[in-house]
């Protein structure tokens, strides 16, 4: 039913507007597991149309086309968990202490090393196609527009072969994609950034201290505030404040 990474056709492009756009252009004929990888994206996108900074030829920028079988649209966050867990597990296998920052950014320490953008096509009650776009900082050593970013090379001081990284990364992603979906939520919490840790957040103009205590099946973040109240948040409705944030009196 599912292809393995070895069966996945990989299309390499020197430059493209975005690999997610390229995957969408081949939506009708591309098989499950098809991959598009680019040396440079002229219009690379992150969540909420944010731009993704990447030096040409230094990092991995790719998209995977997935065709889930009778996968309900209401459970789409499981797909995000599977892909982000795969990226996190690959980095951990390389000795990087990676965590998932809700919903699907990948952090090492307090810096972002990878980001995901999943776009779903729904037919009735089911997801027919998911395009998983992934940007992983590999060999880039300077980020002019993103000082909060890091890369594999910046952390380990080693230079990496991009082809080898892609092969191993795809294997890890497919391993989680093919795993029992019921196991994903607990695995996700095990590597969730700030899980069960007190930290500062901002909602609108209000700053508050809370800890992450759960993630709902639909993907909402559950925070327990210092006063004991529990609130659920949509993506982009709150801001994670820096670990050294000091509130004004």
Over the stretch 179-224, which tens digit does the pLDDT of each residue have?
Answer: 999 999 999 999 999 999 999 999 999 999 999 999 999 999 999 9
Mean pLDDT of 17-26: 96
CB atoms within 10 A of CB 74: 12
Closest listed residue to residue 35, CA positions, set 177, 180, 153: 177
- pTM greater than 0.85 (yes/no): yes
What is the DSSP secondary-structure string of 24-90?
HHTTTTPPTT-EEEEEEETT-B-GGG-B----TTTSEEEEEEE--SSEEGGGTHHHHHHHHHHHHHH
Q: Taking a C-beta distance cutoff of 8 angstroms, is the pair 132, 116 a contact?
A: yes
CATH architecture of 198-240: Roll (2.30)
Mean pLDDT of 158-170: 96
Residue 98 CA to residue 80 CA, distance in Å, equals 16
Per residue in 32-89, pLDDT (tens digit) is: 999 999 999 887 665 444 555 678 889 999 999 999 999 999 999 999 999 999 999 9
Closest listed residue to residue 130, CA positions, set 89, 72, 90, 53: 72
Range of weakest confidence among 51-55, 105-109, 157-161: 51-55
Task: Look over the chain and give the mean of its residue pLDDT values, rounded to a whole number.
Answer: 92
pLDDT at 48: 45
Residue 165 CA to residue 159 CA, distance in Å, equals 11
Three-state secondary-structure class, residue 182? helix
Q: Taking a C-beta distance cutoff of 8 angstroms, is the pair 154, 139 a contact?
A: no
Going from N- to C-terminal start, the domains of the chain cover 5-190, 198-240
Q: Is 164 left (phi over 0), alpha (psi -120 to 50) or beta?
A: alpha
Which CATH superfamily does the domain covering 5-190 fall into?
Answer: Bira Bifunctional Protein; Domain 2 (3.30.930.10)
Closest listed residue to residue 153, CA positions, set 138, 143, 168, 169: 138
pLDDT at 53: 67
pLDDT classification of 5: cutoffs 50, 70, 90: low
């Amino acid at each position: 039913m599912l292809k393995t990474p070895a069966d996945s056709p990989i299309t390499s492009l020197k430059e493209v507007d975005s690999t997610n756009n390229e995957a969408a252009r081949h939506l009708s004929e591309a098989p499950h597991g098809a991959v598009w990888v680019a040396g440079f994206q002229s219009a690379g996108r992150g969540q909420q149309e944010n731009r993704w900074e990447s030096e040409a030829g230094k990092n991995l920028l790719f998209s995977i086309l997935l065709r889930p079988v009778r996968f309900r649209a209401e459970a789409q966050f499981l797909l995000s968990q599977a892909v982000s867990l795969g990226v996190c597990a690959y980095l951990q296998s390389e000795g990087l202490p990676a965590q998932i920052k809700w919903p699907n950014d990948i952090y090492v320490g307090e810096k972002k090393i990878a980001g995901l953008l999943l776009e779903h096509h729904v037919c009735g009650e089911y997801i027919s196609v998911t395009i998983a776009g992934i940007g992983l900082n590999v060999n880039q050593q300077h980020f002019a527009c993103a000082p909060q970013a890091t890369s594999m090379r910046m952390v380990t001081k080693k230079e990496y072969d991009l082809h080898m990284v892609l092969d191993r990364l795809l294997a890890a992603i497919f391993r989680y994609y093919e795993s029992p979906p019921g196991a994903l939520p607990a695995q996700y919490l095990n590597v969730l950034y700030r899980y069960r840790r007190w930290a500062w957040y901002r909602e609108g103009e209000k700053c508050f201290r809370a800890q992450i205590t759960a993630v709902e099946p639909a993907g909402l973040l559950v925070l327990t505030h210092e006063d004991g109240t529990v609130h659920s948040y949509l993506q982009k409705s709150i801001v994670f404040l820096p670990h050294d944030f000091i509130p004004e009196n």
